[in-house]
A and B are shown apart, each in its own frame.
Chain A
Amino acid sequence: MGVLNEFFVLPFLDIAEAPLFFIEVIIGGLSAGVMYSLVALGFVLIFKASGVFNFAQGVLALFAALTLVGIMEWGVPAPVALLLTAAVMVGLAFAVERLVLRPLVNQEHIILFMSTIGLAYFLEGLGDTLWGSNVKKLDIGIPEQSFEIGGVLLNQFELVAAATAGTLVAVLAVFFHYTRVGRALRAVADDHQAALSVGIPLKTIWVIVWSVAGIVALVAGIMWGSKSGVQFSLSLIALKALPVLILGGFTSVPGAIVGGLIIGVGEKIGEVYWGPALGGAIENWFAYVLALMFLVFRPQGLFGEKIIERV
């Protein structure tokens, strides 16, 4: 009875007792979820256009943030440094397309996945060699004060993060739907062969997708990096994005956002209200279990393309 009580009664009593705090937990979950989405977006972009599960996405974020901080340390003002870093990411996309993707064209998914692991190793070494491994403070002027509205604690940084993610998704949506390149991207995502046969250059498309993913990684790197300082651990944020990916679907941009929010809120509520009964620190696996539960009902994720199988 004690156990049942702890799992099915006490948490709800707790919620009813302090509704304002419950709102805070939800807001905390949403803001964490936004941060997850920022990372997940990069995965989705690349998977959608080239079918590559990009293991290096986290390292890409680290590399971008390191480059940005490194350039800023030379005394370059933040906006210029941002542009320079974006240029570096585009250059990286060219290199990846030429040296990794093109020789491996038409290989199985898992081989491409493995090649991005090689890429991750390479970028880790390169980033360390170029920029050193100290924790670097990243300050591009995002405000960080907390304030209360009606007893609910809010943080400016989190609002900025949410706004950034929102803008990013809006820009990506416009880009995908209303530009020539965007249409070409969607065509490639739908069917490589058909896209090729109507004259869409696959190589260019891949460079564009990897560039966009690199810039998304830069944004993710900035947001996460301002929280913890820019350091090697940034590459581990990819792990936080994986449950978001399977929940939202590997191929859906809105899925990455909605999935992120669900995971964020779900794991915070789980940790705060059910964590103590289980001994705490449950959020890591809880996120996966949550995603797994959605998957059992929708094996392609919430917004993923329906899997149609034929013999």
Chain B
Amino acid sequence: MLYREAGQFKSSYGADQAVFPIAQDRWFIAAAAVFAFVVVPLIADDYWLQAILIPLLVYALAALGLNVLTGYAGQLSLGTGGFMAVGAYMSYKITTAFPELNIIVVFLFSGLFSAAVGIVFGLPSLRIKGFYLAVATLAAQFFLIWLFNKVGWFYNYNPSGTIDAPPRAMLGVLITGAEAQPEVKYLTALSLLSVFALLTKNLVRSSVGRAWMAIRDMDIAAEIIGIRPLRTKLLAFAISSFICGVAGAELFALHFGSVETLAFDINLSFLILFMVIIGGLGSILGSILGAAFMVLMPIALTNLFVGGLGMQAVTAKHTEFMVFGGLIIFFLIVEPHGLARLWQIAKEKLRLWPFPY
């Protein structure tokens, strides 16, 4: 009744090809945007912003990046942590070398470096496929981490070997550094995520996106109908690494403020991949839902066990692991195509509500 497309007529090609052709979707997105941009910064406290929402947004961006590569172009990658490290370390190098440069520009430049690295490590994908490729991308993961740990130039030769985000302002408002307001950091992360989500959404509807999906579904067939695998695959690697690089720079400058290479180790790569799979391969919304699941669920479980049931911190953690593992399996059994698919089903049900036939 509420979610009805009947009567919404399109009178131009533009309207027909809009990102959100259904009016209710547009209202919903607008409401969600208002909520996220206006209401959340007003009501959320420090803990919610710093410990939950900012990492959630950053991980969602990284998941979006990986989803381009794995979900749309079908190339399984476990090098995400490495590409994010490139973004983080390059943003540190750029911003310490050019302190006047706008920090957003710094993020984008470090994304470019990450894209270049992604192209190099994407080359084997022309020959290697599936799980073999996944393991091969681990070469990128281990090599990059080793490199940033080993070569002093990347951390300006400081004796601790970690990098610290210096305070940087835009339009007179501090964005990075310890003194920046959490609300500002949150809004920065949110804006970047929104922009990239919108860009990606459009990209995957374009000929580039269709080429990716053709490669994903069957690369030989795609090649036969005239899609160049070299260009298509490397473009996917480049764009994916670009987004992951920006996410890495954000993780460093907005969330942590100070990182060592351990923050980008293989566990991060796995974490992002889990987000993509749980959220839904080949879905923008899925990346965000997946990140939300992986960030919120452990915290919610801890709160439930420690705060709600009064368990010891350690028992709670063990139980949390078991329940979390069980939940992953449960969700996969209920809906193997991820949370995004659950959302889609919900929408379809809503279309018929309250008179299903």
Interface residues, chain A, CB within 8 Å of chain B? Answer: 53, 99-100, 103-104, 107-111, 113-115, 117-126, 128-129, 239, 242-243, 245-246, 250, 278-279, 281-282, 284-285, 288-289, 291-292, 295-296, 299-301, 307, 309-311
Interface residues, chain B, CB within 8 Å of chain A? Answer: 76, 124, 127-132, 135-136, 138-139, 142-143, 146, 150, 218, 220-221, 224, 266, 270, 274, 277-278, 281, 315, 317-329, 332-333, 336
Q: Which of A119, A123, A285 contacts B143 (CB 8 A)?
A: A285
Residues of B contacting A278 in the complex (Cβ-Cβ under 8 angstroms): 150
Give complex CA distance A107, B322 in Å: 23
Closest Cβ neighbor of B329 among chain A residues: A118
Do most interface residues of chain B lie in helix, strand or loop, or is the interface mixed?
helix
Q: Which of A118, A129, A239, A296 contacts B328 (CB 8 A)?
A: A118
Q: Which of B136, B277, B326 contacts A114 (CB 8 A)?
A: B277
Question: In the bound complex, do residue A292 and residue B136 qualify as a contact, i.e. CB atoms below 8 Å apart?
Answer: yes
Residues of A contacting B328 in the complex (Cβ-Cβ under 8 angstroms): 114-115, 117-118, 121
Give complex CA distance A124, B266 in Å: 18
Question: In the bound complex, do residue A129 and residue B132 qualify as a contact, i.e. CB atoms below 8 Å apart?
Answer: no
Closest Cβ neighbor of B129 among chain A residues: A299
Contacts A281-B146, A295-B128; A288 near B139 (Cβ below 8 A) = yes
Q: Which of A239, A282, A301, A309 contacts B146 (CB 8 A)?
A: A282
Question: In the bound complex, do residue B278 and residue A291 qualify as a contact, i.e. CB atoms below 8 Å apart?
Answer: no
Residues of A contacting B76 in the complex (Cβ-Cβ under 8 angstroms): 110
Question: In the bound complex, do residue A109 and residue B150 qualify as a contact, i.e. CB atoms below 8 Å apart?
Answer: no
Give complex CA distance A7, B129 in Å: 32
Residues of B contacting A281 in the complex (Cβ-Cβ under 8 angstroms): 146, 150
Q: How far is the CB of B134 from chain A (nearest CB, A)?
A: 8
Do most interface residues of chain A lie in helix, strand or loop, or is the interface mixed?
helix
Give complex CA distance A229, B43 in Å: 49
Question: In the bound complex, do residue A284 and residue B135 qualify as a contact, i.e. CB atoms below 8 Å apart?
Answer: no
Question: In the bound complex, do residue B220 and residue A309 qualify as a contact, i.e. CB atoms below 8 Å apart?
Answer: yes
Residues of A contacting B129 in the complex (Cβ-Cβ under 8 angstroms): 299, 307
Q: Which has the most chain A C-beta neighbours within 10 Å: B129, B270, B332?
A: B332
Instruction: Show 29 residue pairs from A and B whose CB-CB distance is below 8 angstroms, ordered by the A residue.
Output: A99-B329, A103-B333, A104-B332, A107-B336, A111-B277, A115-B332, A117-B325, A118-B326, A118-B327, A118-B328, A118-B329, A120-B325, A121-B321, A121-B322, A121-B324, A121-B328, A124-B321, A128-B318, A129-B322, A243-B138, A246-B131, A282-B146, A285-B142, A288-B135, A288-B136, A295-B132, A296-B127, A309-B220, A311-B224
Residues of B contacting A117 in the complex (Cβ-Cβ under 8 angstroms): 270, 274, 325, 328
Give complex CA distance A118, B317 in Å: 15
Residues of A contacting B315 in the complex (Cβ-Cβ under 8 angstroms): 129
Give complex CA distance A99, B320 in Å: 19
Residues of B contacting A129 in the complex (Cβ-Cβ under 8 angstroms): 315, 318-319, 322
Give complex CA distance A299, B143 in Å: 21
Q: How far is the CB of B335 from chain A (nearest CB, A)?
A: 10
Residues of B contacting A282 in the complex (Cβ-Cβ under 8 angstroms): 146
Residues of A contacting B281 in the complex (Cβ-Cβ under 8 angstroms): 110
Give complex CA distance A301, B129 in Å: 11
Residues of B contacting A295 in the complex (Cβ-Cβ under 8 angstroms): 124, 127-128, 132, 136
Residues of B contacting A119 in the complex (Cβ-Cβ under 8 angstroms): 325, 329
Q: Which of B143, B150, B224, B317 contacts A289 (CB 8 A)?
A: B143
Residues of B contacting A121 in the complex (Cβ-Cβ under 8 angstroms): 321-322, 324-325, 328
Give complex CA distance A114, B320 in Å: 18
Question: In the bound complex, do residue A242 and residue B138 qualify as a contact, i.e. CB atoms below 8 Å apart?
Answer: yes
Q: Which of B130, B317, B336 contacts A111 (CB 8 A)?
A: B336
Question: In the bound complex, do residue B132 and residue A246 qualify as a contact, i.e. CB atoms below 8 Å apart?
Answer: yes
Contacts A111-B277, A121-B324, A242-B138; A285 near B146 (Cβ below 8 A) = yes
Question: In the bound complex, do residue B146 and residue A125 qualify as a contact, i.e. CB atoms below 8 Å apart?
Answer: no
Contacts A111-B332, A129-B319; A284 near B132 (Cβ below 8 A) = no
Q: Which of A100, A107, A284, A307 contacts B142 (CB 8 A)?
A: A284
Give complex CA distance A110, B274 in Å: 10
Known pairs A122-B321, A295-B127; list 19 more (Cβ under 8 Å): A104-B336, A108-B336, A110-B277, A111-B277, A113-B131, A114-B328, A115-B329, A117-B274, A123-B325, A125-B317, A126-B318, A126-B322, A129-B322, A281-B150, A285-B139, A285-B142, A291-B136, A307-B129, A309-B220
Residues of B contacting A239 in the complex (Cβ-Cβ under 8 angstroms): 266
Question: In the bound complex, do residue A292 and residue B139 qualify as a contact, i.e. CB atoms below 8 Å apart?
Answer: yes
Closest Cβ neighbor of A239 among chain B residues: B266
Q: How far is the CB of B20 from chain A (nearest CB, A)?
A: 28
Residues of A contacting B325 in the complex (Cβ-Cβ under 8 angstroms): 117-125
Give complex CA distance A5, B208 in Å: 46
Question: In the bound complex, do residue A53 and residue B131 qualify as a contact, i.e. CB atoms below 8 Å apart?
Answer: yes
Residues of B contacting A108 in the complex (Cβ-Cβ under 8 angstroms): 336
Q: Which has the most chain A C-beta neighbours within 10 Å: B138, B326, B329?
A: B329
Give complex CA distance A99, B326 in Å: 10
Give complex CA distance A99, B266 in Å: 28
Question: In the bound complex, do residue A250 and residue B132 qualify as a contact, i.e. CB atoms below 8 Å apart?
Answer: yes
Question: In the bound complex, do residue A250 and residue B221 qualify as a contact, i.e. CB atoms below 8 Å apart?
Answer: no
Residues of A contacting B324 in the complex (Cβ-Cβ under 8 angstroms): 118, 121, 125
Give complex CA distance A282, B147 in Å: 10
Contacts A99-B329, A295-B128, A307-B129; A279 near B319 (Cβ below 8 A) = no
Residues of B contacting A99 in the complex (Cβ-Cβ under 8 angstroms): 329
Residues of B contacting A288 in the complex (Cβ-Cβ under 8 angstroms): 135-136, 138-139, 142-143
Q: How far is the CB of B237 from chain A (nearest CB, A)?
A: 15
Q: Which has the most chain A C-beta neighbours within 10 Å: B138, B139, B336?
A: B139
Q: How far is the CB of A283 from chain B (nearest CB, A)?
A: 10
Contacts A53-B131, A108-B336, A301-B132; A114 near B139 (Cβ below 8 A) = no
